[in-house]
Amino acid sequence: MLIEKYDVEVFTPPCDPGAERYAARARLNVDIFEVLAYLNATLRGAIYHPAAKALTWKKGGHNIAFHDYEIATSNVEDREMAVKELEGLIALVNRTWENRAQIVPSHDTRQRPTPMAILKLLPQTNCRQCGEPTCFNFALRLATAQKNLAACPSLSEPKYSNQLAALQEMVIDAPSMG
Ligand code: SF4
């Protein structure tokens, strides 16, 4: 296991005193910089910043940052959830490191796709089968890694195969945080 020991700190961000949202960080006893390229290859919507030794990711409305000796999350509803999320992120890093032989690391800094760029490739029928009121709402959720392409059944129709392939290039499915 890569990360075995860490210290957790949960706090209310100083820029938002009194807000009922929390931030948390885990200070690590090992350097995880090498794992960031593997996470970059597998986490949908992650942005890799090699010069800063960091990778940022947005999941479920939470802002997550992986650094060489630290993992942080913010905009979390309560303290308990913040700690639980950090534990899930640490498990994700350990799992990714253990599976690195099956992953081609990526050192590219990917631009997050805009909702409009995604919308252009969706069927644009506003059929609601994805649970969203419009294709644009679905595009917004895809852009922020809150939905998977599989949630749009229309995309599996043969006539959308080219669009689906382009979307799969644009957004990478995130593994479960377990
Ligand atoms: S299921 Fe697909 S086509 Fe239907 S509204 Fe959602 S994104 Fe649009």
Ligand 1 centre to CA of 115 (Å) is: 14
Cα four-point dihedral sign 49, 53, 57, 62: negative
Phi, psi (rounded to 5 degrees) for 107? -105, 10
Judged by average pLDDT, the poorest of 30-39, 45-54, 106-115, 125-134 is 106-115
Which residue of 124, 134, 149, 152 sits with most ligand 1 atoms within 8 Å of its CB, as the best mutation to test the pocket?
Answer: 152
For residue 40, what are its two tokens?
């970059």
Mean per-residue pLDDT of the chain: 87
Q: Hey, whose CA ends up nearest to atom 7 of ligand 1?
A: 135
Return the ∠ at Cα 13 (arms to 64 and 90), rounded to 5°.
Answer: 30
What was the pLDDT predicted at 175? 38
The DSSP H or E segment spanning 62 is: strand 62-67
Q: pLDDT at residue 80 above 80?
A: yes
Per-residue model confidence as pLDDT tens digits over 15-42: 555 567 888 999 999 999 999 999 999 9
